[in-house]
Amino acid sequence: MRFDVLTLFPELFEPHLALGVTRRAFETRQVDVRLWPLREYGEGAYRRIDDRPFGGGPGMVMLADPLQRALSAVRAERTDAVPLVHFSPTGRPLTQALVREFAAGPGAVLLCGRYEGIDQRFLDRHVDLELSLGDFVLSGGELPALALLDAVARLQPGVLNDAESHEQDSFSGDGLLDCPHYSRPEFWGEGDAATAVPAVLLSGHHAQIARWRRERSLQITAQRRPDLIIAARAAGRLSQADERYLAQLVI
């Protein structure tokens, strides 16, 4: 799969693509990321990329023409009809379900906005999907693009080892939140009961450990994201034992 990223700050990508478990996916081009520095498509000697907004007001707007030139260059190089994704706080929230779709697809062209945003006429003509990272405002679309690339790369075969399997992650498998995790030492801090690892995790009893993890996952999800419990129930992903546990839970 291939992602072409239109950005004013390609330098922001390189360190992130070279680190962590996802590095191999990018280095081997399992997830092929091509950076297109928008400044190179700017207007005039100063490579201008933005101008004042019509109607007045603060901030600058990214110009349609430089973006058109950059997009034409990308489309000339790749002829498959991958979607153009624009990152914006006004977009659809990025979810693990969408990440899974991208992870199984041919890639996309990713457009990173800056300033007040992009001339709406360019967006209207070219953008297939607008994605938001959440209900907050960043200074640019580069971090959202990196978030998508990271989330897609870690789903590629061979990127995570078994111990890091994404099947048990939040929003994966059954769509619930993940359970808590513990490691050594067995007693941490003052060594009193409050800082002990839950005993069942030391029992070696696989079925009980699995049940404990499932119940913690159900508990956390019911407390923090009851909408995910409703969705899991509607999708038939809750067992009778799950329902019995939820019924006695005091939230």
Ligand X SMILES: C[S@@+](CC[C@H](N)C(=O)[O-])C[C@H]1O[C@@H](n2cnc3c(N)ncnc32)[C@H](O)[C@@H]1O
150 carries an active-site annotation: no
Q: Which is nearer to ligand X, 134 or 185 (CB)?
A: 134
Cβ-based neighbours of 134, under 8 Å, separated by 6 or more: 93
CA separation for the pair 181, 47 (Å, rounded): 51
Q: Which is nearer to ligand X, 30 or 132 (CB)?
A: 132
Is 169 among the catalytic positions?
Answer: yes
Q: Which of 64, 74, 138, 179 lies at the binding interface for ligand X (CB under 6 A)?
A: 138
Interacting positions 155-214 with ligand X (CB under 6 A): none
Q: Which is nearer to ligand X, 107 or 141 (CB)?
A: 141
Check the annotation: does 9 bind a ligand: no
The answer on whether 137 is annotated among ligand-binding residues is yes
Q: Is 117 in the site for ligand X (CB under 6 A)?
A: yes
Assess 42 for contact with ligand X (CB under 6 A).
Answer: no
Instruction: Say whether residue 106 binds ligand X (CB under 6 A).
Output: no
Q: How far is the CB of 32 from ligand X (least distance, A)?
A: 22
Instruction: Give the binding site for ligand X (CB under 6 A).
Output: 87-90, 112-114, 116-117, 132-134, 136-141, 144
